[in-house]
Amino acid sequence: MRYDDPKIPLSLTDLDRMDTPDAQVESVEDGQFQALVLSFTLGSSQYATMALRELMKMPLLAQFQKTTNVE
């Protein structure tokens, strides 16, 4: 997805969808910024964080996790 305004929402909330069922977030052709928008449904005992780590190939080691919180 491409967009120009970094302050606009890139996805709709459930409330947005209830208020306006046909609402969609549109990609801007030749937008300045680029984003990856994922949508998936998980069953019981399935976790989005684990799915995202697999996609990004991020290590699960505690040592690595500590370094991600340092500013």
pLDDT tens track for 1-44: 999 998 988 888 889 889 988 888 888 899 999 988 887 788 88
5: its two tokens: 């305004």
Does residue 48 surpass a pLDDT of 60? yes
Q: Where are the domains of the chain?
A: 2-68
Name the nearest CA neighbour of 6 among 34, 37, 45, 38. 34
- What pTM does this model have? 0.53
CB-based contact 30:1 (threshold 8 Å): no
Query: In DSSP terms, which residues pair with 33 in a beta bridge?
Result: 3
